[in-house]
Amino acid sequence: MPGRLYYDDSYTTEFTARVIERLKVGEHPAVILDQTYFYPTSGGQPNDRGTLGGAAVLDVLTRDADGAVIHVLDHDIDGDTVTGSIDWERRFDLMQNHTGQHILTQAFVQAVGAQTLSFHLSDDSVTIDLDQLNLTPDKIYAAEDLANRIAQENRPVRARLIDPADAESVRIRKVPERMFTDGLRIIEVEGFDTTACGGTHVRATGEIALIKIIRLEKRGDKTRVEFRCGGRALRDYREKNAVINQLTMDLTCSVGELGGAINKLRDELKAAQSALKAASTRLVEQEAAQLYEQAPCYDEICIVTAAFENRDVSELRLLASKLTDHGWTIALLGTAGEKAHIICARSREMPDDMNVPLKAALAVLGNARGGGRPEMAQGGGIPATLEQVQAALLAARQVLLP
Ligand SMILES: [Zn+2]
């Protein structure tokens, strides 16, 4: 079986190897080498990237049939011997976060008694799912503190092979069905954790630098813990620090005062919104009184007709209801704009069906739709000019006064 060199050495990034097979994966050419440092996607860890013989390595995967490592390339390469180069920044980031996960998982066991049920590592996120709910901040910080102490102690991290029959002595969910090593591969964080794993890891815990939990999420009877290690943790801190600094400048307060400052803003906004609503209602009441006064009346029935431009529809409805609060009044209101709107409303004690004048008005506007109750009907939704809305209201009025 082709050699997986990263098992014994996750730090070599340049190597030469012989091409022993060429194949296609989808549209892309791919090669199998006699030995490789490229890590194929497996065990929850994403594949390495880099270059091979000048071609970009797009994906690295394991062939089911024989366990061969397939390097998927962006273009064909020549020659029997090729030079491979691993994208070290990506590899080291995955090593930091993967080893950090081993440590955090063990820290949750020792500090909280919580077991890790599953683990997910991708380019931008790393999470573990714990078998406990209600993890209080005290418990989270205890596990985080322990994990960081292990990182600071710069303990050696070693890989070794054991007899699968001895698997009970290490933390493992199940012995893998297939192994590419002559035994079960064990990763040991000296004096702290032993886990069966086929991934790439740092050689000493100090290289992880920082292990920071950033978010908890309840998922059924599990808690998903999202965290960042090493360079990812630094970038996360940097981004959040920039946001916090901007907020403290915008709100002219200290970090500790931010929560209070935002609550105060929220309260002020609420008060301003309710004051604005009260003032608008008073204005609409005055407007309704004025329109009513000027409206022509026929046999005790007053008909108010008014067209506006780009008026808020809910305000138009409020105006209609204030107008029809006066006895024996019909309000024919409309607003022009991208979404024109017509309202036909009457006082409660009158018998007329307002769907009739509405229908006449909408017919003038063209393809508009609407309807409603006998005492109030409305519709529109299509673009119309002020002149078109005025013509529509006139048509509505003519239906009422033949
Ligand atoms: Zn691992």
In DSSP notation, 152-186 reads HTT-BEEEEEE-GGGGGGSB-SS--S--SSSSEEE
Q: Report the CATH number of the 288-400 domain.
A: 3.10.310.40
Q: How far is the CA of 98 from the centre of ligand 1 (A)?
A: 6
- Angstrom distance (rounded) from CA 49 to CA 87: 6
Residues 6+ apart with CB under 8 A from 154: 204, 205, 206
Q: How far is the CA of 378 from the centre of ligand 1 (A)?
A: 65
Whether 3-86 and 91-249 share one fold: the answer is: no
Domain 91-249 fold is Threonyl-tRNA Synthetase; Chain A, domain 2 (3.30.980)
Q: How far is the CA of 283 from the centre of ligand 1 (A)?
A: 69
Beta-strand pair 35-36/69-73: unpaired
Sheet holding 157-162, edge to edge: 157-162, 184-189, 193-196
- DSSP-derived letter for residue 79 is S
Domain 3-86 fold is Elongation Factor Tu (Ef-tu); domain 3 (2.40.30)
In terms of pTM, does the model score above 0.85?
no
Q: How far is the CA of 213 from the centre of ligand 1 (A)?
A: 18
Which portions of the chain are predicted below pLDDT 50?
A: 1
Q: How many CB atoms lie within 10 A of CB 364?
A: 18
- Angstrom distance (rounded) from CA 137 to CA 275: 40
Q: How far is the CA of 85 from the centre of ligand 1 (A)?
A: 22
Q: What is the pLDDT of residue 1?
A: 47
Task: Report residue 347 as tokens.
Answer: 């006082």
Domain ranges of the chain: 3-86, 91-249, 288-400
- Angstrom distance (rounded) from CA 263 to CA 269: 10
